[in-house]
Amino acid sequence: MDLVLLLQRIFDALFNSAIYSSLALALVIIFRSTGLLNFAQGEMATFTAYIAFVFLSGPQPRLTGGGLAGLVPGVPFPIPLAIIGAVICGMAGGAVTERALIRPLGRAPDLALVNITIGILLATNSLMAQWWGTGPRMFPAVFPSGAGQNFTILGARLRYSTIGVWAVLLTVLVLLVLLLRHTRTGLAFRAVSISRSSAELVGVRVGPTLMYGWALASGFGALAACLSANSVLLEPNMMLRVLVYAFAAATLGGLDSPKGALVGGLIIGLSQTLIPAYVPFIGFELSVLPALIAMVAILLVRPEGLYGTKRIERV
Amino acid sequence: MSGSLVVVAKNSAEHKKWKYVQWAYLAGFVLLTPLVLEPFEIGKMNRALIMGVAILAVNLVVGFNGMLALGHSAFMGIGAFVTASMVQDENWDYWQVIPIVVIVGFLMGVIVGLPALRVKGLYLALVTIAQAAVFPTLVNIDELGIAKRTGGPNGKGVSEEVIAPSYLEWLPGVDGARGGSAYRFWIIVLMVGITLLLVTNYLRSRPGRAVLAIRDNEAGAAVYGVNLPIVKTMNFAISASIGSLAGLMWCLDKGFVAGQDFTFLLAVDLIIGLVLGGVGTLQGGLVGGLFVVWVNDLTKRISVPLGLYTLNGDGPLAKAIFGLILILFTFFAPGGIVSLGRLINNKLIHIVPLTPSGESIEPMSGFDPGMESTRADTAMKLSIAGPVLLGVGWLLMNVNNLVVGVLAFGLRMTILLAPVAMLVGINELKAHADGNRPDSVKGPASMARNLGALGFVFVIGYALQRFVQTYPIWDIPLI
């Protein structure tokens, strides 16, 4: 086995892993607080990537769909500002979604919640196709990722963009942990995710707390979409495939564990690149297969995932 | 009972009459479909029925057993590919493939279900969605001769055409150019009927009741001696085999199968149909199937002239509308269209059960004179609704070509409502002549009769015109 090639493949896989991890984190945050799987997470993220695209491209109606950018003074933005703007828009969108569509349902059966998120998925997807067209768009690279822009470690190339994505992901993760551990909102959020009714009884305002949760999750999704939009090309269905991997990652790590989401994303990203490379039976066409098989296998042994909390039901 | 138009005792002559009317409506609807519709519309109807069977399969797991399994598009795909392969490669007949498809579907259900049912709730939803997501790529595997059987990325066509044998040419609509789709319609109706009958009986049987008990209270069911893993897995496998049967019908109808037909999006369509039709109702599947296919069709017709994008034949507007409808239904009508239908039904008729000795459980004193005249009023409104819709549709069609669908809708409403309005009107007039109704009934009732008769005559005329168009009688040589 060629060690350099192996290292190179691992380095290549790390970029995707970071994207899967951050989308999985978004799923986990929502699952922990609201107890529902947000099937629309990917589409909401793609939408914010389009918003960043609008910020970036300035007032060109043909390109940006109905001159939406005309509403924003001072466009085009530089890339970091555009992404921050998109993340803020995404957070607002997540909060509004929670307030308008999820909270009125209250404690509804699982199927109802799944329906709502699938409804959002379909509506957002078609709106994007309507406004920005179905063709792929060139989204500028956030970090330098051209030829030669890399470190060389033991003969394998580690791109700057991979390092950049991981740096962003880890920074945001540290911020998230600080937020959860050391602020009042974070405390309320943790209380709500442990027991909603008890938190309500001791006076935590559950509604706004959940809204923060949704905002955070959508922010994570937006970040993931903006960072990956260059490599997977911006188009309405961009995140659908990524979402399947993110689901697998979140399930693998345990749906209620942020650490699990990170580890799950790594495992899925690596297996997606490495298994087709070393198992001749599985071509790159089927790279989704090992991830899903891993997910099912882990669910069979540990239905709560690698790091998830075991659920005990009282009858 | 307040609010209901008519109060009848259960199993009384009136109740039976009501049931016959319902069956007559259904029969009329089925019979008119191949006679009135265009060939491509019959194709849509076939598609709707097939979706209906698949949604029924999903319903068996989601609605009746309370498990969130969303990946039945994969079972449909398996059924379709097995059928295509057996008919095309092995030269089997479609009906010979049915047992194979059912058995293969059942086994696949057991294989997927045994591990999948260990996980619960949303986790199961995830596993089954993974199954739906991976299926379209699985058919492209080169190993084991899979790609050869399934045709790989190119899909598989079946060259054998489904044509009515000569002894079945008397079936309505089965003749000439549009015989193909009409004949397939009758085959599919037959299969749908048999499937519905079997599923109804299954749900009334001992295992069926166990399935329902698990949905209502899993722990309670276990305490009463229900073997949870076996009942759940069997139910899942039965549902999978019905899904595969829908796949067989898909192949029979389209004559072409590709992995791209059975993606995650089809699974989403099935869920939409399930929710729109009614979760946990037998009719819900068929209603949902009709709705999914026709709304898709309608939005496609609207989006093209409006300059909206169309993705693989469905306007994106279709998806937006579906998303909106899905959210609205979840909020305002969680029981789906079937529950709305029941609501209307309860407004029309209230059936009072009887004790074994034949006395009614509730007082049957709902027959106050005021109610009688409202009955005639309603009949009149029924008779007016169809023609008005027709007229509006005609106007809209002339004003703007977009709303072709409204015309078709008005026509169908006339077909269904006019005869009933006429019958009710005649009935009320007779009752009035016998002295059983107040005079206020007379005006509305006669109007209902006349308008209904008018609509009826129009329908007959239309049918005759279509008949003559299809079978040009003056071309038949007399000697």
Under the banding of pLDDT at 50, 70 and 90, the label for residue B306 is low
Closest-CA distance, B236 to chain A, in angstroms, reads 17
Apex A301 CA angle, A298 and A304, nearest 5? 70
- Asked whether residue B51 carries a pLDDT value surpassing 90, the answer given is yes
Domains of chain A from N-terminus onward: 3-64+74-301 (1.10.3470)
Residue-wise DSSP of A204-262: --HHHHHHHHHHHHHHHHHHHHHHHHHHH-B-TTHHHHHHHHHHHHHHHH-TT-HHHHH
Tokens of residue A307, six digits: 């790091």
Tokens of residue B139, six digits: 């058919």
Tokens of residue A306, six digits: 């690698």
Closest-CA distance, B263 to chain A, in angstroms, reads 12
* Residue with more model confidence, B302 or A41: A41
pLDDT value of residue B392: 62
By CA distance, what is A289's nearest residue in B?
B134
Facing A299 at nearest CB: one of B123, B131, B331: B123
Mutate which of B117, B120, B123, B140 to test chain A, going by most A C-beta atoms within 10 A?
B123
Q: Do B138 and A289 touch (CB under 8 A)?
A: yes
Which of A23-27, B251-255, B320-324 comes out lowest in average pLDDT?
A: B320-324
Q: Which of A195-199, B2-6, B76-80, B262-266 has the highest mean pLDDT?
A: B76-80
* Residue with more model confidence, A220 or B319: A220
Q: Each residue of A159-200: pLDDT tens digit? A: 788 888 888 888 988 888 888 888 888 889 888 888 888 888
Q: Do B316 and A36 touch (CB under 8 A)?
A: no
A227: Cβ contacts below 8 Å, ≥ 6 apart: A18, A19, A22, A83, A142, A165, A168
**Inter-CA distances, B159 with A78, B72, B258, Å:** 58, 27, 15
Give the residue from B232, B262, B292 where a domain finishes: B262
Pick left, alpha or beta for residue A307 (phi over 0 → left; psi -120 to 50 → alpha; otherwise beta): alpha
- Asked whether residue B27 carries a pLDDT value surpassing 50, the answer given is yes
With respect to residue B337, please indicate whether it lies within any of the assigned structural domains: no
Q: Do B123 and A247 touch (CB under 8 A)?
A: no
Q: Which runs of consecutive H residues, i.e. helices, occur in B278-403?
A: 282-303, 316-332, 336-348, 369-399
Q: Are residues B119 and B236 in the same domain?
A: yes
Mean pLDDT confidence for B161-178: 68
Query: How long a stretch of residues is chain A?
Result: 315
Q: Do A248 and B279 touch (CB under 8 A)?
A: no
With respect to residue B224, please indicate whether it lies within any of the assigned structural domains: yes
- Asked whether residue B177 carries a pLDDT value surpassing 50, the answer given is yes
pLDDT value of residue B48: 92
Mutate which of A47, A126, A282 to test chain B, going by most B C-beta atoms within 10 A?
A126
Facing A134 at nearest CB: one of B138, B311, B330: B311
Under the banding of pLDDT at 50, 70 and 90, the label for residue B217 is confident
Q: What is the mean pLDDT of chain B?
A: 78
Pick left, alpha or beta for residue B38 (phi over 0 → left; psi -120 to 50 → alpha; otherwise beta): beta
Q: Each residue of B393-432: pLDDT tens digit? A: 555 544 444 445 555 666 666 777 777 788 888 888 888 8
By CA distance, what is B311's nearest residue in A?
A134
Mean pLDDT confidence for B130-159: 76
- Rounded to an integer, what distance in angstroms lies between the CA atom of residue A111 and that of residue B274? 11
Facing A315 at nearest CB: one of B70, B219, B320: B219
With respect to residue B342, please indicate whether it lies within any of the assigned structural domains: no
Chain B partners within 8 Å of A122 (Cβ) = 268, 319-320, 322-323, 326
Give the residue from B203, B230, B262 where a domain finishes: B262
Percent of chain B with pLDDT over 90: 15
CB atoms near residue B15 (< 10 Å) = 16
Chain A partners within 8 Å of B325 (Cβ) = 119
With respect to residue B348, please indicate whether it lies within any of the assigned structural domains: no
Tokens of residue B172, six digits: 């309505």
Q: Which runs of consecutive H residues, i.e. helices, occur in B37-93?
A: 39-65, 72-89
Mean pLDDT confidence for B23-32: 75
Facing A286 at nearest CB: one of B137, B272, B308: B137
Give the residue from B239, B262, B285 where a domain finishes: B262
Facing B268 at nearest CB: one of A118, A126, A288: A118
Q: Do B62 and A111 touch (CB under 8 A)?
A: yes
With respect to residue B298, please indicate whether it lies within any of the assigned structural domains: no
- Rounded to an integer, what distance in angstroms lies between the CA atom of residue B289 and that of residue B81? 21
pLDDT value of residue A111: 82
Q: Are residues B255 and B377 in the same domain?
A: no
Closest-CA residue to B102 (of B244, B233, B201, B200): B244
Under the banding of pLDDT at 50, 70 and 90, the label for residue B367 is very low
Query: Across the strands, what pairs with A234?
Result: A137
CATH number of the domain within which B30 lies: 1.10.3470
With respect to residue B136, please indicate whether it lies within any of the assigned structural domains: yes
Chain B partners within 8 Å of A115 (Cβ) = 271, 275, 326-327, 329-330
Q: Do A285 and B62 touch (CB under 8 A)?
A: no
Chain A partners within 8 Å of B318 (Cβ) = 126
Judging by DSSP bridges, how do beta strands A150-153 and A156-159 pair with one another?
antiparallel
> Is B36 part of the contact surface with chain A (CB cutoff 8 Å)?
no
- Asked whether residue B53 carries a pLDDT value surpassing 90, the answer given is yes
Q: What one-letter code names the amino acid at A4? A: V
Chain A partners within 8 Å of B138 (Cβ) = 286, 289
- Asked whether residue B369 carries a pLDDT value surpassing 50, the answer given is no
With respect to residue B139, please indicate whether it lies within any of the assigned structural domains: yes
- Asked whether residue B247 carries a pLDDT value surpassing 90, the answer given is yes
Say how many CB pairs under 8 Å bridge A and B: 132
Q: Give the domain range for residue B438.
A: 371-475
CB contact residues (below 8 A), chain B span 72-111, against chain A: none
Apex A294 CA angle, A291 and A296, nearest 5? 110
Strand runs (DSSP E) across chain A, as ranges? 150-153, 156-159
- Asked whether residue B9 carries a pLDDT value surpassing 50, the answer given is yes
Q: Do A120 and B334 touch (CB under 8 A)?
A: no
- Asked whether residue B353 carries a pLDDT value surpassing 60, the answer given is yes
- Asked whether residue B166 carries a pLDDT value surpassing 70, the answer given is no
B360 backbone dihedrals φ, ψ, rounded to 5°: -80, 145
Residue A200 burial by Cβ neighbours in a 10 Å radius (0-12, 13-18, 19+): middle
- Rounded to an integer, what distance in angstroms lies between the CA atom of residue B360 and that of residue B349? 15
By CA distance, what is B223's nearest residue in A?
A315
Q: Do B309 and A118 touch (CB under 8 A)?
A: no
Query: Across the strands, what pairs with B352?
Result: B9
Tokens of residue B201, six digits: 């009986």
Chain A partners within 8 Å of B120 (Cβ) = 303
pLDDT value of residue A64: 46
- Asked whether residue B236 carries a pLDDT value surpassing 90, the answer given is yes
Closest-CA residue to B49 (of B221, B214, B293, B242): B293
Residue B453 near residue B383, CB atoms below 8 Å: no
- Asked whether residue B61 carries a pLDDT value surpassing 80, the answer given is yes
* Residue with more model confidence, B250 or A314: B250
Under the banding of pLDDT at 50, 70 and 90, the label for residue B57 is very high
- Rounded to an integer, what distance in angstroms lies between the CA atom of residue A162 and that of residue A175? 20
**Inter-CA distances, A134 with A78, B136, B297, B309, B316, Å:** 25, 22, 20, 8, 10
Mutate which of B138, B319, B329 to test chain A, going by most A C-beta atoms within 10 A?
B319
Cα A211 to chain centroid distance, Å, stands at 17
With respect to residue B331, please indicate whether it lies within any of the assigned structural domains: no
Mean pLDDT confidence for B239-267: 89
Q: Each residue of B183-204: pLDDT tens digit? A: 888 889 999 999 999 999 999 9
CB contact residues (below 8 A), chain B span 133-192, against chain A: 133-134, 137-138, 140-143
pLDDT value of residue B365: 52
Cα B298 to chain centroid distance, Å, stands at 17
CB atoms near residue B201 (< 10 Å) = 10
Judging by DSSP bridges, how do beta strands B349-352 and B6-9 pair with one another?
parallel
Residue A64 burial by Cβ neighbours in a 10 Å radius (0-12, 13-18, 19+): buried
| DSSP one-letter code for A100 | I
Count of structural domains within chain B: 2
Which residues of chain A register pLDDT less than 50? 61-67
By CA distance, what is B139's nearest residue in A?
A286
Chain B partners within 8 Å of A112 (Cβ) = 330, 334
Tokens of residue B436, six digits: 């059983």
